[in-house]
Amino acid sequence: MEFEELLSRAQTLASSGRRTVLGIAGAPASGKTTLAWRLADSLGTRAAVVGMDGYHLAQSELHRLGRTERKGAPDTFDAYGYVHLIRRLAEGRELVYAPEFRREIEEPIACAVPVDPDVQIVITEGNYLLLDTEPWNELRALLDEVWYVAPDEDERLERLVTRHRKFGRSLVEAKQRALGSDQRNADLVAPTAARADLVVEGMALPHFAV
């Protein structure tokens, strides 16, 4: 599928005359964030990007709960908070400040992404938008469309290892993370593609890496 086809579909959503929310789901390093930002850049001021990763639990809380090594699993997010945010964004009645995840410090930053009521389409991306367990299962009704990004698995794993190396892990550590907890999360979300409005395969974007 070509990017221009996806952009045309997003433009249709943005031209509905009301606030719409487009979800982009997929496994770690499938290209969700890259696609979301490329769409937003093309749509200009009509669009805003809000990532699910802004609802990662803080490192101190993960440590308290004993979940540090499983960071990225569904129970390492403030899922109820994220659902509430998407509900506010879908209503489009007020200025909303969304959080943002900063990989360089491995922490979420509150109130980092302003979404004005004039924004026509909010693009939200994350692994678990189509998960059928509570409270994730409330998201589907709040999203006008959800696309599932499904790249070649070997390429996805290579990008994932490269990303972990970029943020300070050794090659051995990067591979252990990619094939360990990250792969468990990828296996968890793979069946959710069946609930997507569109499965994006074969996307030819050279920097499709996040």
- Provide the pLDDT for residue 158: 77
Q: Is the pTM of this model over 0.85?
A: yes
* Structural domains in the chain, sorted by start: 3-201 (3.40.50.300)
DSSP 29: T
Which parts of 49-179 fold into alpha helices (H)?
59-65, 79-91, 139-142, 153-166, 171-179
Beta strands in 74-138 (DSSP E): 96-102, 107-115, 121-126
List of the chain residues with pLDDT < 70? 167, 178-180, 203-210
Instruction: Encode pLDDT of 69-88 as tens digits.
Output: 888 899 999 999 999 999 99
Instruction: Encode pLDDT of 105-127 as tens digits.
Output: 889 999 999 999 999 999 999 99
**Residue 165 C-alpha from the chain's centroid:** 21
Parallel/antiparallel/unpaired status of strands 198-201 and 20-26: unpaired
- Provide the pLDDT for residue 134: 96
- Provide the pLDDT for residue 103: 81
